[in-house]
Amino acid sequence: MKVGVVVFPGSNCDRDALHAARLAGAEALSLWHEQTDLHGADALILPGGFAYGDYLRAGALARFSPIMGAVSDHAARGGLVLGICNGFQILAEAGLVPGALVRNASLRFEHRWIRLRVERRDTPFTSAVPDGMTLRMPVAHGEGCYVLPAADLRSLEERRGVLFRYDSPEGNPNGSAHDIAGVIDQAGNVCGLMPHPERASEAVLGSDDGLLLLRSLVASAAAAVAVPA
Partner 1 sequence: MAEFRFCVSVMPKPGILDPQGRAVEGSLPYLGVDSVSSVRIGRRVELTVEAATESGARTIVERLADDLLANPLIEAWTAEAIV
Partner 2 sequence: MTLAESPALHPSAVLHRALGLTDHELEQVVTRLQRQPNDLELAMFSVMWSEHCSYKSSRALLRTLPTAGAGVVAGPGENAGVVSIGDGMAVAFKLESHNHPSAVEPYQGAATGVGGILRDIFTMGARPIALLDALKFGPPASVRTRHLVRGVVAGIGGYGNCVGVPTVGGELAFHDSFARNPLVNVMAVGILDERRLTRSVAPGPGNAVILFGSTTGRDGIGGASVLASATFGPEQGSKRPSVQIGDPFAEKLLIEACLEVIEAGLVEGLSDLGAAGLTCAASEMADRAGTGMLIELDDVPRREEGMAPFEVMISESQERMLAVVRPAAVPAMLGICARWGLPAAVVGRVTDDGDVTVRSAGVAIARIPAQALTSDAIEYQREARPPSHRPRAPSRGLLELTPDGFPERGMDPGAVLIELMGDANVASRAWITGRYDETVGSDTVTGGAHGAAVMRIKGTTRALVMATDSSPYVGLIDPYLGAVTAVAECVRNVAVTGARPLGVTDCLNFADPGRPEAFWQLAEAVRGLGDACRALGLPVTGGNVSLYNESVDGPIAPTTQVGVVGSIDDIAMLVGPAFTQAGDVVALLGRTVPGMGGSIYAQHAGQAPDDEPPLVDLQHELALGRMLALGAARTILHSAHDVSTGGLATCLAECAIWGGLGASVRLSVRSAPAVELFGEGPGRVVVSTARSLWPRLQGLAAESGVPVTLIGQVGGERLHIRLARAGSTGPLEDRGVSAADDVDLALADLRGAWQRGLPRALGLDP
Least distance (Å) from partner 1 to the CB of residue 12? 15
In terms of Cα–Cα distance, which of 207, 53, 217, 51 is closest to 138? 207
Residues that bind partner 1 (CB under 8 A): 52-53, 55-57, 60-61, 64-66, 93, 99-100, 102-107, 145, 147-149, 175
Least distance (Å) from partner 1 to the CB of residue 61? 4
13 binds, among partner 1, partner 2, none (CB under 5 to 8 A by kind): partner 2
Active site residue 13: no
Active site residue 198: yes
Least distance (Å) from partner 1 to the CB of residue 2? 26
Between vectors from CA 177 to CA 171 and to CA 179, what angle results, nearest 5°? 35
In terms of Cα–Cα distance, which of 181, 190, 184, 182 is closest to 44? 190
Distance CA(136)–CA(118), nearest Å, equals 11
102 beta partners: 145
In terms of Cα–Cα distance, which of 200, 205, 146 is closest to 173? 146
3-state helix, strand, coil in the chain (%, to 5): 30, 25, 40
Among 33, 74, 141, 196, the one annotated catalytic: 196
222 binds, among partner 1, partner 2, none (CB under 5 to 8 A by kind): none
- Pick between residue 48 and residue 182 the one whose CB is nearest to partner 2: 48
- Pick between residue 14 and residue 119 the one whose CB is nearest to partner 2: 14
Active site residue 178: no
28 binds, among partner 2, partner 1, none (CB under 5 to 8 A by kind): none
H or E element that contains 22: helix 14-23
Catalytic site residues? 85, 196, 198
